[in-house]
Amino acid sequence: MGETDFSSCFAGQTLFDALVGASRRYRSSEPQLEDAVGQKFSYGRVLLGSRLLAKRFEKVTQPGEIVAVLLPNANAVVSTFFALQSAGRIPAMLNYTAGPAIVVSACRTVKARLVIASRTFIEKAELHTLQKALEDAGLEFFWLEDLITSVGIFEKAAAALFARRAVARPKPASPALVLFTSGSEGHPKAVLLSHENILSNCAQIAERIDFGPKDKLFNVLPVFHSFGITGGMILPMMYGVKLFLYPSPLHMKIIPQAVAKSKPTILFGTDTFLTGYARAAKDSDFASLRLVVAGAEAVKEETRKTWAERFDTLVLEGFGMTEAAPVVAVNTPEENRPGSVGKLLPGIEVRLEPVEGINAGGRLWLRGPNVMLGYMTHDRPGELQPPEGGWHDSGDIVDIDDEGYVTIRGRAKRFAKVAGEMVPLGAIEMMAGRLWPEANHAAVTLPDKRRGEKIVLVTTWPQAAKEPLIETVKELGYPELMVPNLIVKVAEIPVLGSGKTDYVTTQELAGQHSK
């Protein structure tokens, strides 16, 4: 029954269609959105702003064009996102924390030529270096402030009259969103998601977790993050959940106070952030919460215990990936097994393939209505590369027990998850090879209580040191997360019978040296 319900929920609709439907169901006159600067938008206000922006975007872009978006968690990003949906354009959400080189590479991968941004945001976030890098790469900027000062009374009247009417009519199966995930060589890969992918995932989540107009979500996860945009922005708009958008998850001391003031019932986060918030919070700050949903990294038992005992709040762990729009599995209040990531969402098919050196579990492949249209890569810019047969290789090694609970055992793909961010280990090995070409190098991960995982560079170069790696990261415009936390020097790096690096044994070696 659950699979039938979710599959029919948004059948034949685009994201803009679904927003219009939600505005009718949940009374557009009431405030739906609030942000950290105190702006409050109703559904009607979102639709009005979307129509104004859509007509402007229509004049400066082409149908189906991918348009870069450089905005924080604020009400303006919601109107901008749905304006692009109305206009039949595809927003590509830029990770402004990734470093100029990576952001420019992302734009080139999707052949973006226009960036929608805010001068106020550029100033406050001190993103002038990123702005210059994008301009030097030939991208033009569309400043939201210019619209505010130039819109006339007749334009506003027309927008109000046609606010619920889309400017263009894309098909539900067509691309609706581009997000970026780390590429193995440091070049981000573009993930293209359709209207159907995103709305299917919203409906799948709604089949497992009960929420609605009586709830309020406090979202700190940025909208360039897959869970931040689907779970933290689109999902609440589709189901009448009130939404408070906070611009950065890193404000550990301020966020508990903001939660206490806004009184949400639901909070999204990662284990790293939840630990930080708990340290800074008074016991009463999270009194309004009924549940917390955590993803991106494993939730520690200590975190669950702290939130249960101090705040009387249940922490539910889920699992997802950008390529799946993003949620794949989640624990629920009724079916919650700590240590697992819950059961698969309805409509998702999986298969497990054996992995050399791994005895328990297998490599997870999945297929379903929420699985992406495909990738675009830096070496094939603008070219959609769909998953073969609809199957996506997650790169995660998992166990699925007889009751259907999924447990993450490790990763077969070469990435670290540091504070919830994906860091390509292959790129770190390439940097080390560039600095010390005469030696062999392997980057692995070890658990880290504070940040989820830490990166260890195992190398045969006796003079290896952090300082040259820090300089190389800065020179390449990469984020500081790509600097290894620890360097382990060895005589030889273990190899498999095939001649490839034995990363399982290398990881054990790194663990022994780190003690």
Per-residue pLDDT reduced to its tens digit, 156-199: 787 778 878 888 999 999 999 999 987 655 688 999 999 999 99
pLDDT at res. 483: 87
Helix (H, G, I), strand (E, B) or coil at 26: coil
CB 216 within 8 A of CB 30: no
Give the containing element (helix H, strand E) for 488. Answer: strand 486-489
For 305-328, how does the pLDDT look when each residue is reduced to its tens digit (9 = 90+)?
889 989 988 999 999 999 999 999
Rg (CA), the chain: 23
Q: Where are the alpha helices (DSSP H) in 94-190?
A: 100-109, 119-124, 128-136, 144-150, 153-161
In percent, the amount of the chain with pLDDT more than 70 equals 92
Label residue 259 by pLDDT band (50, 70, 90): very high
- What tokens were used for 408? 């993450």
Residue-wise pLDDT tens digits, 125-158 = 999 999 999 999 999 999 999 887 787 788 778 7
Q: In the chain, what are the domain boundaries?
A: 2-400, 415-514
- Percentages helix, strand, coil for the chain, rounded to the nearest 5? 35, 25, 35
Q: Which tokens belong to 120?
A: 């106020």
pLDDT tens column, 374-411: 999 999 999 999 999 999 998 888 888 888 899 887 66
Banded model confidence at residue 497, pLDDT cuts 50, 70, 90: very low
What is 2-400's CATH number? 3.40.50.12780
Instruction: Decide: 454 and 486 in contact? Cβ < 8 Å.
Output: yes
Angle between helices 100-109 and 128-136 (to 10 degrees): 40
Residue owning tokens 């073969």: 388
Neighbours of 248 (CB within 10 A): 14
Model confidence at 498: pLDDT above 50: no
Long-range contacts of 400-403 (CB under 8 A, 24+ apart): 400/344, 400/350, 400/352, 403/343
351/365 Cα distance (integer angstroms)? 5
- Is residue 362 scored above 50 in pLDDT? yes
For the chain, report the end-to-end CA distance as a whole number of angstroms: 52
Tens-digit pLDDT profile for residues 62-78: 999 999 999 999 999 99
Highest mean pLDDT among 86-90, 279-283, 421-425: 86-90
Q: CA torsion 228→233→239→242, rounded to 10°?
A: 110
List, in sequence order, every beta strand (DSSP E) within 118-274. Answer: 140-143, 175-181, 189-194, 216-219, 242-245, 266-269
The average pLDDT across 196-204 equals 95
- Inform me whether the pLDDT recorded for 4 exceeds 60: no
Q: To the nearest whole number, what is the mean pLDDT of the chain?
A: 87
Per-residue pLDDT, 296 = 74
Of residues 154 and 103, which shows the higher confidence score?
103
pLDDT band at 476 (very low <50, low <70, confident <90, very high): confident
Distance of CA 393 to the CA centre of its chain: 18
43-67: string of b/e by CB count within 10 Å (b at 16+)? bbbbbbbbbbbbbbbbeebeeebbb
The CATH architecture one would assign to domain 415-514 is: 2-Layer Sandwich (3.30)
ω into residue 326 within 30 of 0, thus cis?
yes
Band of pLDDT at residue 30, cut at 50, 70 and 90: confident
Instruction: Give Cα separations from 230 to 17, 28, 199, 443, 451 (angstroms).
Output: 16, 21, 9, 32, 24
Is the pTM above the cut of 0.95?
Answer: no
pLDDT digits (tens, 9 = 90+) for 435-466: 887 778 888 888 887 777 888 899 888 888 88
Task: Convert the pLDDT of each residue in 220-258 to its tens digit.
Answer: 988 998 989 999 999 999 999 999 999 988 888 899 999
- HSE value, Cβ hemisphere, 13 Å, CA-based, for 52: 22
Long-range contacts of 124-128 (CB under 8 A, 24+ apart): 125/72, 125/96, 127/70, 127/96
pLDDT at 438: 75
Residue-by-residue DSSP string for 63-86? TT-EEEEE--SSHHHHHHHHHHHH
Cα→Cα distances 460→169, 435, 496, 513, Å:
58, 13, 17, 14
> Which secondary-structure segment (H or E) carries 48?
helix 43-60
